[in-house]
Amino acid sequence: MALIFSKIGIIGGGISGLAAAKQLSEHNPIVFEATDSIGGVWKHSSFRTTKLQTPRCDYEFSDYPWPLRDNTSFPTYTEILDYLNSYAKHFDLFKFINFNSKVVEIRLAKSKDPMSDSLNNPSTLLSSGKPVWEVAVQTSGSTAIQWYGFEFIVMCMGKYGDVPIIPKYGMNKGPEVFKGKVMHSQEYSKLNPEESFQLLKGKKVVVVGYKKSGIDLAVECAEANQGEEGKACTMVVRTSHWIVPHYSIWGLPFYLFYSTRFSQFLHARPNQGTLKTLLCMLLSPARKAASKIIESYLLWKLPLVKYGLKPDHPFEEDYASCQMAILPESFFHEADKGKINFKRASNWWFWEGGIEFEDNTKLEADVVLLATGYDGKKKLRDVLPEPFRSFLEFPSGMMPLYRGTIHPFIPNMGFMGYVESVSNLQTSEIRCKWLARLVGGKFKLPSMEKMLEQITTEMEIMKNTTRFYKRTCISTFSINHNDEICEEMGWNSWRKKSWLAEAFSPYNSQDYQDQI
């Protein structure tokens, strides 16, 4: 079959895919979306009660503000989907998207040397007119494979959704011995509201996991079991993380603690030099004090001690690893009513009537919901050829990406959606702007040695800041991260109108509008 050639290929139609399509639109990219709609996890992995975790003004594209952006309520997932569809229509992005088009294989073009200098310098790439990568695409309802050729590929397949992480069990201790129903949160998200309600109503439900998905599942279970005949839901909690009811701490806006240039000055960041490193060490008591202030408020505001949910680690470690979850308003209200119970356990397994724990206690269950996360890298490994798929592995568990985008050993390919921060949308958009200018030849990548040095430095900072470092999270140095991106693009890194605003105002997407 003939090879269809285009300069830019984008895999995935979620937030990162849309941002990449917008920023690379001058190259007429082809976007492959495996489903029939845009939205990524917001479309395909959300529950009835799923809401955004940040204020809407912190989760918007720089050139497309939310309507009523100062509304302090958290948007529902349907509101977010409406916003994304409106964005795509406004910038005419649908013309680039091939829906129901699943990428099943990627291979290096036969005529290419994977280690040649030209392939490892995308700044001169789009003048060659020859494909570097060949992509196999299968359309829904068809067994036929169509091959495409691209000079550059942007991988926007995302970390969440599609590939659930299922716990491993010993012999005769897995779901096969359980007489009830076992379902991962991914499968649950496919149910419509009536189906999910009927699954939970009048059932003894166990939710495994205590992050955002698990908390939302427990609330939906409680809502389906109101009244005297309703059954309680039990959450199995291995590691308790700090949860936050709203973005206000003792009457102060939360951003003052972590999201201003002044507050992030207290934290380690890449390329800060000897003097700033020394100052950071001297100011460590102030950093620890900020964490303690937040912890004291959360322990006062929430019944964490009552339910045995007080974390054993500082709040800062959850924030630095993007583990912080915003709490649904009714969560502890339902716990106080007896509709949500908690069981702390490191290990558990199935028996025919439910699940069993290492302390020899058993919990009866009709339904077990696994909120155990997703394996985003497996999606990449399944389509990338060797040796490139092996380059994704790293002892720390984090993907080694320069500027969270370029792998030094994988030529002519960018990765979006694998770095987390307070606002993943803003993080993806600014790196898409950076990538578009890199591909367009506006600047060049540093040497491979410099890229590896930067990657290693960022990883060491994350590793030294939090024990939960097996995810790439830049929350404590996001402003510095964006500063360096701006400098490489030739932009001013300080984006505010005054020194006072620079020091104490939070940064959001609006601060990174295109600089003429």
Q: Which residues are annotated as a binding site?
A: 16, 33-34
Contacts of 134 (CB under 8 A, 6+ apart): 3, 106, 107, 108, 109, 147, 148, 149, 150
Closest CA to 28 of 2, 12, 5: 5
User: Which run of H or of E encompasses 199?
Assistant: helix 193-200
- 205 neighbors 197 (Cβ within 8 angstroms): no
Q: How far is CA 262 from CA 95, 266, 295, 499, in A?
A: 43, 7, 20, 11
Beta strand residue intervals within 390-475, DSSP E: 413-415
**End-to-end Cα spacing for the chain:** 44
- Phi/psi for 120 (5° steps) reads -95, 15
Q: How many CB atoms lie within 10 A of CB 505?
A: 19
Place of tokens 């030849």: 441
Peptide bond into 387 cis (omega under 30): yes
Q: Is 512 helix (H, G, I), strand (E, B) or coil?
A: helix
The tokens for 454 are 């930067």
* Binding site, annotated residues for FAD: 16, 33-34
d(C-alpha 32, C-alpha 436), whole Å: 18
